[in-house]
Amino acid sequence: MIRLRFSLLIVIISILSGGLSATGQRTTRKNLRPSPAAVTGHDYTHLFDTIATSADSAAVAFAGYEKTLSSSQESFFATNKTDSLITRLDIELIYLDMTGRQLDTRRITLDTQMTPGQTRRFDIKSWDRQKVFYYYLSPAPRSSNATPYKVTIRLVTALRKRE
């Protein structure tokens, strides 16, 4: 019994003395340097314009939307109608049933490089995770439980590169 107490006392003393004599450890990495942009303070916002759009804006035209019942992707085409390079699109998608009742809405940002007049296809993750809806102009599925819907794509803003 005395041996057990003595061993326990030795262990406790060694733990305490080791903890008290420990030196600090440097946890930061050596030789870190700030990025050149942070040092120079360059602001590149003067290279870009934001096009704030309205409902009748003609900066970007959307067409060719498709989403079948079994698809986990939606696809559509966008055409740059400006005379500048567009580098980002902020769009709103509004999903409606066939009576015009809103099913869902979402806003998506698309990074792109669209030259003037160029048309690009975009594939985005579908809003219909359960795969029970299909776009009404897509081929009708065999399942009678599927629900058709319409979609409106609206350009909210576009980021274009200045000349």
Q: Give the amino acid at 24.
A: G
Full-model pTM: 0.65
pLDDT for position 64: 93
CB 18 within 8 A of CB 11: no
In CATH, the architecture of 45-161 is: Sandwich (2.60)
Write the pLDDT tens digit of every residue in 59-107.
899 999 999 888 999 999 999 999 899 999 999 999 999 999 999 999 9
Which pLDDT belongs to residue 35? Answer: 57
Output the pLDDT for position 111. 94
Query: Which helix or strand (DSSP H or E) is residue 4 part of?
Result: helix 2-21
- Looking at the DSSP bridge assignments, the partners of residue 112 are none
Q: Decide the pairing of beta strands 133-135 and 119-125.
A: unpaired
Span 11-52, pLDDT tens digits: 677 666 655 555 566 666 666 666 555 545 554 445 555 555
pLDDT, tens digit, 9 for 90 and up, residues 104-138: 999 999 999 999 999 999 999 999 998 899 999 98
| pLDDT value of position 44 | 47
